[in-house]
Amino acid sequence: MNDFSFYSPTRIMFGRKMADHVGEHVAAAGYTSALLVYGTSSVVRTGTLERVKASLDAAGVAHVELGDVRPNPEISSVREGLRIAREANVDLILPVGGGSAIDCAKAIALGIPYDGDVWDFFRKRAAPAQRIDVACVLTLPASGSEASNSCVISNDAEHLKCGCNTDLNRPVMAFMDPELTFTLPPYQTAAGITDMCAHIMERFFSGQPAVPVTDNIACGLIRAIMDAAPRVMENPQDYDARANIMWAGTLAHNGIAGLGLGCAGGRDGDWSCHGMEHELSAFDVKITHGAGLAVLFPAWMRYVWREHPERFLEFGRQVFGIEPVDPEADGVGITPEQAIEDAVMETIDELQEFFCSLGMPRTLAEFGMKADDIDSLMPGLKITRGEVFGNFKKLTLDDARAIYESAL
């Protein structure tokens, strides 16, 4: 087990009707003025935003608003939020929504004490040193942003989607009510489930030796997700299934699923698939992050598994009950090496079939992408990930191109 430092300061308020209690908790913590950050329609249409505003009003917490934050939030929304927050002198940023609203809010919180352009943090031209606090009302389990140290923002002018990881990004509070997810469209539910699985797998396939405690947490989370997912898709108002999905999404990305799997000076995982997917949704903002991961993760797995086959065998055993046959004991006419490959391929196929069973795409072609479009992905990938990236297997840009091509 490698050394690690684990910091998870977010207070989780989890349960029914939590949106109606935001104001009392925010006021009790000493906040007096908030910037509400939300997306394009759903929290308004469902009445969730009005419930949060009513709770703030009842508690005497002033508020201003930044709405219309799109999926794959763009830097222009962050800059507009900074303007509104500074003019109102708010002491809390309060997103109501999913990962896009929360990430936009995190970027605003980092930018308020900073004299330069907040995009500097995402292009690694500056490191954040301060922030104002963020509390969030989660309506879409997926990104885990409600308790994570990560934040991802797009810049359409530069055709980039970049992340900024710092413990300053961790919200102080997260209000989580599974009932708020009852009205999510099936596609968004499925993409969120895929994203949280990917967060766990990025850490499991870190290139580091096994850490049994952490491995059991990671694989147990995925088994719980796979158990709840079909129940949610069949009955969107299954509270217990929704609750398990929501809680798993938080634990998938608050760091607990990667403890002991990081290296000094690096993240606890590989993150190649996330980096490669970011280029897809920078290329076309209509590509949902989880849907892109549903295509790319199996393609990456098939490309890299030979680096550390033992990790794939452990994953297959714990998650799907798949183990290689014993050629001698079972009397099959294959080599031990072929038995391992067969087990790994079966594991990857099972994972992809799970994603597809939820309605996720199998190929990049389903997004309308063609072979010529891959050229458009490479410059951004070079900027955000470099000439060589990844931990499980060091990938070159040529390797990345081959993975994209295999996913068509």
CA distance 302 to 160: 27
Q: What's the pLDDT tens digit per position in 43-88?
A: 999 999 999 999 999 999 999 999 999 999 999 999 999 999 999 9
Domains in the chain, please, with CATH? Answer: 11-181 (3.40.50.1970), 186-406 (1.20.1090.10)
Question: CA of 96: how far to CAs of 92, 121, 142, 216, in Å?
Answer: 13, 23, 14, 32
Is 143 strand, coil or helix?
coil
Tell me: pLDDT of 97 over 90. yes
State the pLDDT at residue 331.
67
How much of the chain, in percent, has pLDDT values that exceed 70?
100
Tokens linked to 248: 């798993």
Tell me: pLDDT of 332 over 90. no
State the pLDDT at residue 382.
95
Q: What is the mean pLDDT of residues 287-307?
A: 97
DSSP one-letter string for 227-265: HHHHHHHH-TT-HHHHHHHHHHHHHHHSSGGGTT---TT
CA distance 211 to 297: 22
Q: What is the mean pLDDT of residues 387-403?
A: 96
The confidence band for 328, taking pLDDT boundaries of 50, 70 and 90, is: confident
Q: What's the pLDDT tens digit per position in 256-282?
A: 999 999 887 777 899 999 999 999 999
Q: What's the pLDDT tens digit per position in 186-209?
A: 999 999 999 999 999 999 999 999
The confidence band for 340, taking pLDDT boundaries of 50, 70 and 90, is: very high
Whole-prediction pTM: 0.94
Tell me: pLDDT of 41 over 90. no
Average per-residue pLDDT for the chain: 96
Residues 27-46, buried b or exposed e (16+ Cβ, 10 A)? beeebeebbbbbbeebbeeb
Tell me: pLDDT of 359 over 70. yes
Q: What is the mean pLDDT of residues 347-363?
A: 98
Contact call for residues 96 and 48 (beta carbons, < 8 A): yes
Q: What's the pLDDT tens digit per position in 107-148?
A: 999 999 999 999 999 999 999 999 999 999 999 999 999 999
